[in-house]
Structure 1
Amino acid sequence: MKKEIEIFFTGLMFYTRIPIPKNIHFKKEYSIESIKYLPLIGLLVGALSAFILIISLFILPVSIAVIISMVCSLLLTGAFHEDGLADTVDGFGGGWHKEKILLIMKDSTIGAYGAIALIMVFLLKYQLLVALVDLPIANGISNPYFIFFVLLAGHSLSRGAAVSAMITHSYARINDDTSKLKSIAPKSLKWTSPAFILALAFALFPLFLFQSPYIFLLIFPVYLAKVLLSRFFNTWIGGYTGDCLGAIQQICELIFYISILILWKYI
């Protein structure tokens, strides 16, 4: 149990800016195993962001409350996944072959393609969350519980999609000794491994809170987005990178919000 706690906190240290106990030190071997806790970390980030949103809704207009919640999420993760999205779009927008794409993605500066992608993602996420907050009743679940469940599910399920990409595809930077993800990628999970089953359980857990079997339909558009993105990455660079996983997380989170808005408004 102590080892698993240390593995979880190692993952928390790697994927977020959330403070951890001082007696926990980063261990490279634990970072390899911590990927199974990524959806759980998503649950934590989603819960904190939702809490800030709900508190803000009591004293501020919806639009401002949503922005504050989004900023909170960025501060909690250090824009970890958003940075991956920007680097990915820059790479595929400016590169025409694998080596060039990977070289651009490795550049820490954000180009025009990445900046445009971030602006569009933030605008779309903002509009979706405002629309979801404004839903008065959702299948008998009144706000603020509904939006709390939505953020939990959006953050955990999208991270679960990113984890699954490590199973279905190979790591594109396997020969790059400077890669931060290289130590994790060769030991990718398998569909039947206990670690992936645990990650899947954390990813799907929030869906049970909605008290509706229809909510599980949303797994399909999220997974479809992951499949299409993974195939696109595989075609161009022969697999995925850490930045690609960040892009998968961000886009799958948006797909979940779009899908649940459609589901609750029209079904």
Structure 2
Amino acid sequence: MKRWLESAATAFQFLSRFPVKSGGDFSPELLQRSTVYYPLVGLAIAAVVWAAAYLSAFLLPPFPAAVLILMLWVWLTGGLHLDGWMDSADALLSYRSRERMLEIMKDSRVGAMGVIACVLLLLLKLSLIYTVMDEGLWSTVLLLPLIWSRWFMVAALGGWPKARQGEGLAGHFETLRGREVRLAALLATGMTVLLALLNWTGLWHPFMAAFPTLPVLAWLAGKWTAERISRRLGGLTGDVYGALNELLEALLLLAAVLLHRLLL
């Protein structure tokens, strides 16, 4: 039990700003075990974000409330994945050689493409939060994007080679294999089923189709994107894992809003 609690605490400490102390040494073995709990971290962040959004809807107009909620969302992640999104945009949109793109990712400075990509991503997220709050689209399905985007990070860690063998933070996960991916998928599936049951009203509702649809979309979109990036870089990097998380968060939230409009 202590072993798994330590792994879960490490996942929270690594991926969020929740005040959790792991007591671990952040060894490669511990970091790899902690990946099983990445979906749980996503659920915790999503629960705080959407609870705050629901409460603020009674106090503020939708737009300023949406801005504050987006700020909370970014703060809870420490901007970790957003940094990866910007670095990946700078490199992949430069259309340089593989070696040059990897050098750009290692550069701590942010270029024009990274800034543009960040602004556009935040605008999309802001508009979706505003839509949820303005139209009252409250459902437990809103928690799924943050769960399954983080599960796909685990799948990417175990499913594609590392662009820099033994280098960078991603090097700590080089021996991660299918066991952690399967356990993370099992945890994410269990949480999805629980959220679907909490959303259940006793009768089938068309919007319930979103619960199986979003995980499938996360896998298909994530796999397509990871394969394309891996072909260009010869593998994936720590920045790319963060970028994949940001992409899937936004894409799945957009899909949830679209499904709500189409099915209701």
Whole-angstrom distance in 1 between the partners of 2:13 and 2:98: 31
1:198 matched to which residue of 2?
A: 187
Of 151, 161, 167, the match for 1:170:
161
| Structure 2 residue 205 is the aligned partner of structure 1 residue 214 | no
Q: Which runs of 5+ in 1 are unaligned?
A: none
Distance, in Å, in 2 between the alignment partners of 1:236 and 1:81 is: 20
- 1:27 maps to 2:18: no
Match of 2:248 among 230, 236, 252: 252
Percent identity, aligned pairs only, is: 27
Q: Distance in 2 between matches of 1:226 and 1:102?
A: 21
Q: In 2 relative to 1, CA 188–114 (structure 1 residues): closer, same or farther, beyond 3 Å?
A: farther
Equivalent residue letter for 1:251? L
Maintained 8 Å contact 2:145/2:214: no
8 Å CA contact retained: 1:10, 1:25:
yes
Equivalent runs, 1:234-253 vs 2, <5 Å: 234-253=230-249
Q: Given the alignment, which residue of 146, 153, 156 partners 2:147?
A: 156
TM-score in terms of structure 1 length? 0.87
| C-alpha distance in 2 between matches for 1:191 and 1:3 | 15
Any conservation in 2 of the 1:157–1:203 contact (CA below 8 Å)?
Answer: no
Tell me, in whole angstroms, the C-alpha distance in 2 between the residues paired with 1:208 and 1:70.
Answer: 27
1:88-99 counterparts in 2 under 5 A? 88-99=88-99
Distance 2:42 2:253 in 1: 15
SS of aligned partner of 2:178: coil
Structure 2: tracts of 5 or more residues without a match: none
CA distance in 2, matches of 1:69, 1:250: 16
- Name the TM-score, length of structure 2 as normaliser: 0.88
- Residues in 1 aligned to 2:184 and 2:128: alpha-carbon distance in whole angstroms: 32
Q: How does 1:130-145 map to 2 (within 5 A)?
A: 130-136=130-136, 143=138
Q: Match of 1:67, as an amino acid? A: V
| 3-state SS, counterpart of residue 96 of structure 1 | coil
1:121 aligned counterpart, secondary structure: helix
Aligned length: 255
Q: Is 8-17 or 78-87 further displaced after alignment? A: 8-17
SS in 1 for 2:163: coil
Q: 1:228 aligns with which of 210, 224, 231?
A: 224
One-letter amino acid of the structure 2 residue matched with residue 234 of structure 1: S
